[in-house]
Amino acid sequence: LKHGCTWSKVVGKLLELYPAAVSIPDKESGLDPFQLAVVHGKDIETMFLLLKAYPQAIHAFSSSSSSTS
């Protein structure tokens, strides 16, 4: 995702082979895959499909945000 990979070109195929990848944060930034899709690729479609594949990412994100407030 940091290199601008899109769902149709790479990400969808990767998740078919390794579905757990959708829940693994980036080691350098700590961002979830759906966040990387927007930050690095500005790819809303990939972000949406990553969230659709792993909707728990929003809950985890909103829970950590509310606990730091």
> Can you give the pLDDT at residue 20?
92
Secondary structure class of 23 (helix, strand, coil): helix
Dihedral sign of CA atoms 32, 33, 36, 38 in order: negative
Interval 23-55: pLDDT, tens:
999 899 898 888 888 887 677 888 888 889 989
Q: Are 5 and 11 in contact (CB under 8 A)?
A: yes
- Calpha distance 10→62 (Å, rounded): 28
Maximum mean pLDDT: which of 8-12, 17-21, 56-60 = 17-21
